[in-house]
Amino acid sequence: LFAGECEFIFGAQKLGQLPPQTLPEIAFAGRSNVGKSSLVNALTGRRTLARASSEPGRTRQLNFFNLANRLMLVDMPGYGYARVARSVKEDWQDMMFDYLRGRPVLRRVVVLLDARIELKAHDKEVMELLDRAAVSFQVVLTKCDDVAPTKLARKQAEVEAEIRTHPAAYPHLSLTSSQTGLGIEALRADLAEFAQP
């Protein structure tokens, strides 16, 4: 699945522009700079698939990537960038909530958290949004290569405790690094479960 073709098909700035629901979808969400583009690139083995964003908070659209006509990966706009005004944050939440609620083909949201930094209020709010939308989500720690083992273990315990408070969360926490490849194959296997035969 992931070794095959992966084609960027669409960038939607408004919900009215979403592509037809022909394939099961997996969406990726996370704070700006969390390593989302890098992770999607690592998963699909492409370097240029999702443009690694040098300017945090810039991508304000939903980008759709067709994986071999079996699965759609959806890159959600990064959230939580400090320079973004409150009204823009609310717009993000409203648009994402509408997307989450109105997309029966959406099978799972992958929520990315940077292993190096504190769990932020905004991350918890997004998980609550997913609970309210009743969309199954799975949490992935990114940049695990850049954290000392004891600190990583503490982080893992903290995030696992948070996950247990969310009814829509998949219980397993994935530890990943796009740089070393840690956890990438396992995450591919998790997501391949949702692909069309």
- Alpha-helical (H) ranges within the chain are 36-44, 86-101, 121-133, 149-164, 184-192
Q: How far is 103 from 107, CA to CA, in rounded Å?
A: 9
Q: How far is 197 from 195, CA to CA, in rounded Å?
A: 6
Which of residues 112 and 195 has its CB atom nearest to ligand GDP in the complex?
Answer: 112
Torsion angle defined by CA atoms of residues 155, 73, 57 and 38, in that order, rounded to the nearest 10 degrees: 60
What is the closest distance, in whole angstroms, from the C-beta atom of residue 9 to ligand GDP in the complex? Answer: 19
Which residues ranging from 134 to 193 are in contact with ligand GDP (CB under 6 A)?
142-143, 145-146, 177-179
Query: Tokens standing for 126?
Result: 């997004």
Which of residues 41 and 66 has its CB atom nearest to ligand GDP in the complex?
Answer: 41
Q: Residue 135 corresponds to which amino acid?
A: V
What is the closest distance, in whole angstroms, from the C-beta atom of residue 16 to ligand GDP in the complex? Answer: 25
Which of residues 51 and 172 has its CB atom nearest to ligand GDP in the complex?
Answer: 51
Which residues ranging from 69 to 128 are in contact with ligand GDP (CB under 6 A)?
78
Which of residues 31 and 195 has its CB atom nearest to ligand GDP in the complex?
Answer: 31
Which residues ranging from 20 to 79 are in contact with ligand GDP (CB under 6 A)?
30, 32-38, 52-53, 56, 78
Q: What is the DSSP string of 69-127?
A: TTEEEEEPPPB--TTS-HHHHHHHHHHHHHHHHT-TTEEEEEEEEETTSPPPHHHHHHH
Query: How many residues bind ligand GDP, per CB under 6 A?
Result: 19
Which of residues 34 and 106 has its CB atom nearest to ligand GDP in the complex?
Answer: 34
**Chain residues that interact with ligand GDP, rule: CB under 6 A:** 30, 32-38, 52-53, 56, 78, 142-143, 145-146, 177-179
